[in-house]
Amino acid sequence: MRKKGIISLSIVAVLGLYVGIEKSRASFSDTAGHWGADAINKAIQLKVVDGYPDGSFKPEQSVSRAEFMKMTATALKLKLDSVEQGSGWYKAYVKALTDAGITRDRDFATEDWNAPITRLEMSRIAVRATDADLQKKEFNIDNASVMFNATKTGLIQGLANGELAVDAPTTRAQSVTIIDRILKVNNGEKLQVDQAAASFAEIDLRGSNFETVWNMRIKTLPVTEKINDHLELTIHKMVVVDTKKPDSAYFDLYEEMASDYWGYPYVMGAYITLKNKATEEENIIWPRQIITTLLGQRVIASHDNIINFKTNIDGEYSGWISFGFERDVFDPMLNQGKKPLIKIHLPSKQLNLMYNE
């Protein structure tokens, strides 16, 4: 009889716990069906954040720097030291994160801790919170590197079409989602990566997205070179578009090639400027003959904004030139570790744009 009583009591206890969890999940009037509901529930259970007395969570309300500092320090279970009385409720959390090397005094343009935290500021905290090397005071990281590291690990995903929106404020739902991702990364989990956001972040950092798409590097852009005494070429950016993935960065430029007719190729587009400083006898420059890729395979003709350039006309001309690669030929090459050789051909020299560590 005693065993049955213990079993019954255990069942009641388990049911009570289950009911309690379900109640906490349904306790907010404005989170049912919200995309961030799971992360919100986790944050509540971990006591990282609270709801409001009126029974709401306000998932779309902006989060201040101070509030995100508290969430992060609480989630990471950092030790809180006593601070001077009256200095602000958030000071202990700021100090804890600073002592841990996760934040620095120069991370914020102002010391207004009540200002909404931006996506860039949140990303910097998330990246440092998941990288022990970056927590060392001798390691600094610039804004572009912050966003690339945050996106390529999945800590941050883009908004519509991979938009980074670095200066946009962060909502309560977004903030607890980032906290959840920080904890997952620190627990050894791999996060889903937003390829478009990672591509845009890499383009902001290096002028290209070759690592994100093809797992290779080219030299940092822009580069400027003289073609002759009068004509100058600048390559501002080079982007790889996978026409089989509509969420690829710059997909809209080559959307017409995303079809069975074209074979869903990869397209490499280069945004260039040709600057003619002085007129000379008419000569025609073909950008496709200046920038080339060597793969030992057929290249699909792509639409170029700059078809040719006449040297007897003053001024600057900017636009895209592009190369398409057949997927059924290119994928096996990638799998074998082969990479396209990208060069600039000039009258007096050839420039290899490949990156060598």
pLDDT of residue 125: 97
* pTM given for the model: 0.84
pLDDT at 309: 76
Q: Which two tokens stand for residue 334?
A: 């990638």
- CB burial readout 172-181, b (16+ within 10 A) else e: bbbbbbbbbb
pLDDT at 339: 80
What's the Cα-to-Cα distance from 81 to each of 50, 84, 277, rounded to whole Å?
Answer: 22, 10, 63
Looking at residue 86, its pLDDT comes to 61
Distance separating alpha carbons of residues 220 and 299, to the nearest angstrom: 24
Angle between helices 195-206 and 143-152 (to 10 degrees): 150
Per-residue pLDDT of the chain (357 residues; tens, 9 = 90+): 444 443 343 333 333 333 333 344 447 888 888 998 899 999 999 999 988 988 999 999 999 999 999 999 999 999 998 766 666 888 999 999 999 999 998 888 777 899 999 999 999 999 999 999 999 989 999 999 999 999 999 999 998 889 999 999 999 999 999 999 999 999 999 999 999 999 999 999 999 999 999 888 999 999 999 887 788 899 999 999 999 998 889 998 888 888 888 888 899 889 999 888 766 666 777 787 788 776 545 556 566 777 777 777 777 888 888 888 888 888 888 888 888 788 888 877 888 888 764
C-alpha closest to that of 265 among 239, 247, 241: 241
Q: What is the pLDDT of residue 188?
A: 96
Calpha distance 226→236 (Å, rounded):
15
CA 176 to chain centre: 18
